[in-house]
Amino acid sequence: MAEKQSTLAQVKDQHVTAILVTHNGVTWLSEVVAALSSQKRLPDQIIAVDNGSIDGSVKLLSNAGIPVIKQSKSAGFGSAVAAAVAKLPIVDKQINNQENNEWLWIIHDDCAPDKLALAKLLEAVVERPQVGIAGPKILGWYDRKHILEAGISITENGTRWSGLEDREHDQGQHDEVKNVLAVSSAGMLIKRGVFEELGGFDPSLELFRDDVDLGWRANIAGHSVICVGEAILYHAQASSSERRAIDVKDAILHRPLLLDRRNAAFVLLANSSWWILPWVALQLLFTSIGRSFIYLLAKLPGYAADEIAAIGLLIFKPADLIKSRRYRKKNKVLSARVIKQFIPTRSTQLQASLERISTSISRAFKSKNAQQNPTQVKSYSDIGIIDESFDELEFVEGKSFAKIRALAKQPFLFGLLVISIFSIFYSRNRFGSLSGGALPVAPDSAMHLISNFFTSWHLVGLGSSSPTPLWVLIVGLASVITGGNPQIFINLFFFFIPLLLYVLTYRSARRFNLSNYSATFAGFIFAVSPAILTSINQGRIGTLVVAALFPILFTALYNHQQLTDLKWRKLYLVTIVAAIAAAFSPIFLLVWLGYQIYQLINQYIAAQNINSTKWEDISKILNQDEIKKRFALLITPFLINIPNSFSLLANPSAKLLEPGLSVPSGDLLSVLLFNPGGPASPNLYLLAPFVLYLFLCLVVKQQRRDTSLALILLALSVTISSFYIAGNNSNAQRVWTGTLIVIAQFILTLNIFSLAERIIPQLRTINFGYKHILSAVTALVTIFSTVAMTGWGLSIGANSLVTTDNEQVIPAFISDLATTNERPKTLVVRKNQEQLKYFITRGSDLLLGAPDVSSKTPEIIHTSIVDLFNGVGVSSSQILGFYGIQYIFMKDPADPALVRTIDGIGGFTRSSATKDGVIWKVNNAHARVSFQNMKGQHFPVNSNDISANGYVSSSGTIIIAEKFDKSWRLLLNGVAVPLEKNEFGLPVFKIAQPGEVLITHDGT
């Protein structure tokens, strides 16, 4: 009894301020005010904060004698609570326990607490000093037996989790006090000191999920959060059930589901440990896609769009998320693992889902009772999922097309919606593992790409020791975000690249001081330009990466042209981005080096004492911060791309090829019109507007400097594209200059819109003249080109070289043979457009990165293959056999004359003829590594992909059926044996005695 009296005394000692937040809630407000006034333990004061109500809420509060703080309707819930707390007197920490005895009781305008609610909450918290937040059990407003929440949590995919059964009714089963992750902000009782310590509700969460976030942060900061089951509150959930409009600033189109899903993802990404962020992000993405699909099946396209847009808002506006993660580090006391106990397990979630499905099915079979009593009034909890049109009759919008007008005020989001729809239809033939055009097949493991980067000998053709370009490693590492599967990563990259280019161009345009509308149009024009769509259709991954990274480089350097105010940390981030772009495009590296050298020379010339020959003066100039920063921009991308950058400088004309296979490019006229051309590119009559932009910007002095750079890039593009280069083990083709074109058109796009924003206001004040005509022509050409390119991409442009249904060239049994100890090779012959083409495979199609390390076929092999096709290759089988080529496969449609020719030449035995093609076995072909004894007999040596080991029983010769390379090594009983070359150009080792042999390739 004494203990109870002590508790009651402590309850009286607590100081409680009730903060009532209102927004057009007059429907429920009178009952809320009455409930507050009838509390057994009355709050010490009540402060109301109204967020722009127009329904009489303020008048009702004033009549009740409650002071009201007025805010705009776009203000968030958290800012309303913060405004009320700011009006409270500062806590005097000198007074004993004042800080621990002051509480904030947060009340919504649609929730009415039971008369014992505050008393029960205070009794629970005074008995538990470690508690920082407490909340009541929440029941429905309309069905007051329906339990809505008894503490809340969040699942790994962002779903709000209450742990309750479907439409569970209150029978006292949740009346205990229990620790939870969070409680609803409706009826939340929080210590004022804790509220101020945590910084209140996150301003990035203006409505929905702000309570989960606050509870999460409180737990991490070492404060307990409890739900007091005996404290009861009735909640109408007006906002989440769409019974009133959502007017906060972040609520795009006033859609609660969109805001709720965005905030759910935000809470997870802002509070999760950094090392699980990729996994959390993937779960959120795929869960949103799954939910949107279900909503589409349920014929709720609005909700489906909300799910996708919610993730898009976070991806393309990450600044708030980064800021919030930094802020949370300040108050973090405990490990994030303390939260794990509150997160429901997958089995728990699955069990709850199955129970809901079972309940729904059971309810469906009991529909007869509902039909017998059609006029029976249903409780609020029986309504179920509320359809989008639930309240259309009750809450009719006063203005027509309100959502369209709201969307028009958000041009970026409108453009995002349009480009997303375009990407879906444009990519309809590219869902799956992609290949075709310049894009080889991607392996199914990132480790394949990563290991290839560090391997000294590459299994492509007859082998190659060429260094793997850095971009292969970058793709392998980036594939981690797709679970280490490069196929999925490449597919997502090609799907999202128009969307990504739109967003990045928009952000750069805004930094270029363009208006919201101009930046939106600029982003869309760039994303659907001929150069971009051609690059996608032809699989030009290098050009697409440069197109995505150049807006970042342009923005960073354009705002710091003198480099004096560019911090070293940011400068090195810029150099890393430039190095990544250079790894994907040698042409970009050359242009980058040339531009930085030009700027470096200009800065040196502009320095004082330029004519002095004294070392002190020269050293002083070179030590200037701007000179050093410019030199870092010059040298760092070059160093990161060693040794490929050295090869580029040593032989530029032979190293200008983009990653992947060789694909024909367009002629000079096509390049001049900003259309790289080639197969699957738009026709020239779909004129790109960039030539007109170039002419107009050159005329205007303010745009001339940037436009001159674009003109130089275009001239360089036309010049380089006139060269024919044979590379990547393919025939000579025009050099692809799409990289230079996309850079030039990006610069022109920003400058033409900058010119337009300056000219258009002038047109309204001057007489009609040439400026009006040129402006009209430019607008018409831009509109025609953009609409035409969009239409082309949605129609025939979707039939690209890059598809998911490319057939496998190599038959399965040849692929299986390639894994045996002999490691045989196969000569594949194809007839394409009256041309015979061949390549040598080791059992699989060319994989990503393989063409970039391939080397020229030895002349002796090329000659023997040509002689074979011409019917004069008497020694062809012997030469091919020595190089380990054990099979010839002619892909259907096979040339009958060539088939007869090979059948008639000795040394080849037809193995089979199927629907896939014709296969011959090369007689007496050798294994990849073989031992020839003194009698001339050949024996295979056990071999893996590169190295080999085994026992030789006598003296003789070890023959490696690979291209000759000085890095081949052989150890006989641990002793090195000299490398030699035989008459066929193969690496051989003379064995003087029996023993164990070990063959390796030393790449050091």
How many angstroms separate the CA atoms of 183 and 137, rounded?
9
Residue 648 banded pLDDT, cuts 50, 70, 90 = confident
pLDDT over 80 at 337, yes or no: no
Better pLDDT: 968 or 309: 968
65 domain residue, yes or no: yes
Find the range with the poorest average confidence among 407-416, 660-669, 787-796.
407-416
Asked whether the predicted pLDDT for residue 202 surpasses 50, the reply is yes
d(CA 68, CA 60): 10
Shared domain for 935 and 847, answered yes or no, is: no
- Residues 560-604 pLDDT 10s: 777 777 888 889 889 999 999 999 999 999 999 999 999 888 887
Same domain? 175 vs 220 = yes
Check whether residue 868 and residue 997 sit in a common domain. no
Structure tokens at 177: 């006090």
Write the burial class of residue 627 (CB in 10 Å: 0-12 exposed, 13-18 middle, 19+ buried).
middle
Q: Is residue 790 part of a domain?
A: no
Residue 765, φ and ψ in degrees, nearest 5: -115, -5
The predicted structure's pLDDT at residue 807: 64
Q: Is 847 helix (H, G, I), strand (E, B) or coil?
A: strand
Residue 968: the pLDDT is 95
Positive or negative, the Cα torsion across 729, 734, 739, 740?
Answer: positive
**Rounded mean pLDDT, 396-421:** 70
CA distance 116 to 678: 78
Q: Report yes or no on 14 lying in a domain.
A: yes
Structure-block tokens of residue 381: 């909890």
pLDDT tier for residue 72 given thresholds of 50, 70 and 90: confident
Could you give the CA distance from residue 899 to residue 905 in angstroms, rounded to a whole number?
10
Mean pLDDT over 975-984 rounds to 93
- Which sign, positive or negative, has the C-alpha torsion 24, 30, 32, 36? positive
Residues 892 and 990 in one domain: no
Q: What percent of the chain has pLDDT over 70?
A: 88
Instruction: Please tell me whether residues 190 and 294 are part of one structural domain.
Output: yes
Examine the domain organization and report whether 836 and 980 are in the same domain.
Answer: no
Q: How far apart are CA 949 and CA 442, in angstroms?
A: 31
Could you tell me the sign of the dihedral formed by the alpha carbons of 458, 461, 464, 467, in that order? negative
Are both 72 and 208 inside the same structural domain? yes
What is the DSSP secondary structure assignment for residue 503, as one 8-state letter?
H
In the chain, the N- to C-terminal Cα span, in Å, equals 84
Phi-psi region of 827 (alpha: psi -120 to 50; beta: other; left: phi over 0): beta
Coil, strand or helix at 222: coil
**What is the rounded distance in angstroms from the CA atom of residue 717 to the CA atom of residue 255?**
48
Distance between CA atoms of residues 961 and 927, nearest Å: 7
Domain-embedded: residue 389: no
Q: Which domain-ending residue is among 302, 334, 353? A: 353
Residue type at position 129: P
Report for 271-285, 592-606, 710-724: range of highest mean pLDDT: 710-724
| Spatial distance between the Cα atoms of 936 and 918, rounded to a whole number of angstroms | 32
> Worst-scoring range by mean pLDDT, 362-371, 554-563, 656-665, 784-793?
362-371
- Whether 825 and 948 share a structural domain: no
pLDDT higher than 90, residue 357:
no
For the chain, the domain total comes to 3
* Cβ(403)–Cβ(388) below 8 Å: no
CATH code of the domain in which 226 resides: 3.90.550.10
Of 138-142, 146-150, 916-920, the range with the lowest mean pLDDT is: 916-920
Secondary structure of residue 799 in the 3-state scheme? coil
- Tens of pLDDT along 210-248? 999 999 999 999 999 999 999 999 999 887 776 776 665
Average pLDDT over residues 126-141: 93
Q: Residue 558: its pLDDT value, please?
A: 82
Please tell me the distance from the alpha carbon of residue 341 to that of residue 499, in angstroms, as a whole number.
39
Alpha helices, H only, 479-624: 486-511, 516-527, 530-538, 541-558, 568-584, 586-606, 615-622
CA angle 479, 307, 522 (to 5 degrees): 70
The 3-state DSSP class for residue 343 equals coil
Domain boundary among 290, 320, 353: 353
The one-character DSSP state at 398 is S
In sequence order, what E strands does 236-337 have?
none
Residue 607: the pLDDT is 67
Residue 995: partners with Cβ closer than 8 Å, 6 or more residues away: 951, 952, 972, 973
Locate 597 and state its tokens. 């050298």
Q: CA torsion angle for 68, 71, 72, 76 (degrees, to 10)?
A: -110
In this structure, the answer to whether residues 832 and 968 fall within a common structural domain is no
Cα–Cα distance measured from residue 964 to residue 813, given in angstroms and rounded to the nearest whole number: 29
The CA angle 192-338-190, to the nearest 5 degrees, is 15
Does 947 score more than 80 pLDDT? yes
Q: How confident is the model at residue 419 (pLDDT cuts 50, 70, 90)?
A: very high
Q: Which amino acid is at 21?
A: V
Q: Whole-prediction pTM value? A: 0.68
Mean pLDDT of the chain: 85
Residue 28 tokens read as 């429920």
The whole-number average pLDDT for the span 883-896 is 88
Instruction: Yes or no: say if 800 and 680 are a contact pair by the CB < 8 Å rule.
Output: yes
- The residue among 264, 257, 182 whose CA lies nearest residue 225 is 182
> Which tokens is 692 given?
């007109």
The span from the CA of 145 to the CA of 138, in Å, is 10
CA pair distance 213, 182, nearest whole angstrom: 8
What is the reported pLDDT for 75?
Answer: 84
Rounded CA separation 233/346 (Å): 30
Rg, Å, the chain Cα set: 36
Question: Counting every residue, how long is the chain?
Answer: 1004
CB count, 10 Å around CB of 217?
A: 25
CATH number of residue 937's parent domain: 2.60.40
With contact defined as beta carbons under 8 Å apart, do 665 and 734 qualify?
Answer: yes
Statement: residue 93 has pLDDT above 70: no
Please check whether residue 951 lies inside any domain of the structure: yes
Evaluate if residue 618 carries a pLDDT over 70: no
Alpha-carbon span 365 to 383, nearest angstrom: 17
Are 167 and 249 found together in one domain?
yes
Query: Which is higher by pLDDT, 605 or 139?
Result: 139
Does some domain include residue 839? Answer: yes
Domain span at residue 829? 812-922
Name the token pair of 290.
């799954």
Q: What is the C-alpha separation between 977 and 526, in angstroms, rounded? A: 60
890 and 962 assigned to the same domain: no
Torsion of CA 885, 888, 889, 893, to 10 degrees: 140
CB 210 within 8 A of CB 322: no
State how far the alpha carbon of 928 is from the alpha carbons of 555, 817, 838, 908, in Å: 53, 12, 20, 19
The DSSP result for 906-940, as a single string, is: TTEEEEEE-SSEEEEEETTPPPSEEEEETTS-EEE
Helix (H, G, I), strand (E, B) or coil at 429: coil
pLDDT of 687: 83
Which of 353, 387, 418 delimits the end of a domain?
353
Confirm if 604 and 610 have CB atoms less than 8 A apart.
yes
Residue type, 139: L
What are 95-122's pLDDT values in tens digits?
A: 556 667 899 999 999 999 999 999 999 9
Same domain? For 226 and 343 the reply is: yes
pLDDT band at 374 (very low <50, low <70, confident <90, very high): very low
Beta strands 987-991 and 956-960, pairing class: antiparallel
